[in-house]
Amino acid sequence: MTKDKKDYDLIIIGAGPAGLTAAIYAARYKLNILVIGQLPGGTAAEASEICNYPSEGKISGMALMQKMVKNVKDFCIEIKSEEVIKICKKKIFEIQTKKAIYCGKKVILASGTKRRKLGLEREGELAGKGISYCATCDAGFYKDKIAGVVGGGNSALTAALLLSKFAKQVFIFYRHDKFTKPEPAWVEEVEKNKKIKKIFNVEVKKFLGVSKIKGVELSNGETVNLDGVFIEIGSVPSIELAAQCGVTLEKNYIRVDKEQKTNVAGFFAAGDITNNVLKQIITACAEGAIAAQSAYQELVKGN
Nearer to ligand FAD, 83 or 203 (CB): 83
Rg, Å, the chain Cα set: 21
Which of 112, 153, 182, 237 lies at the binding interface for ligand FAD (CB under 6 A)? Answer: 112
DSSP 291: H
Task: Give min distance, CB of 221 to ligand FAD, in A.
Answer: 30
184-192 vs 154-163: helix crossing angle, rounded to 10: 30
Chain centroid, CA 136 distance in Å: 13
Between 100 and 208, whose beta carbon lies closer to ligand FAD? Answer: 100
Question: Given the rule CB under 6 A, which of 169-177, 242-250, 278-286, 294-302 is the region that contacts ligand FAD?
Answer: 278-286
295 interacts with ligand FAD by CB under 6 A? no
Exactly one of 50, 68, 95, 269 binds ligand FAD (CB under 6 A); that residue is: 50
Q: Does residue 271 interact with ligand FAD by CB under 6 A?
A: yes
Nearer to ligand FAD, 215 or 271 (CB): 271
Q: Which of 34, 46, 106, 171 binds ligand FAD (CB under 6 A)?
A: 46
The whole-angstrom separation of Cα 230 and Cα 76 is 38
Q: How many Cα neighbours within 13 Å face the side chain of 29?
A: 23
DSSP 93-152: EEEEESSEEEEEEEEEE---EEEPP---TTHHHHBTTTEES-HHHHGGGGTTSEEEEE--
The C-alpha angle 288, 92, 40, rounded to 5 degrees, equals 35
Q: Is 190 in the site for ligand FAD (CB under 6 A)?
A: no
- Interface stretch with ligand FAD, choices 66-74, 118-126, 207-215, 280-288 (CB under 6 A): 280-288
Residue 271: CB atoms within 10 A of its CB come to 36
Question: Candidates 1-9, 46-54, 199-207, 292-300 — which segment interacts with ligand FAD by CB under 6 A?
Answer: 46-54
Site for ligand FAD, rule CB under 6 A: 13-19, 36-39, 42-44, 46-47, 50, 52, 83-84, 110-113, 155, 158, 238, 241, 271-273, 279-282, 284
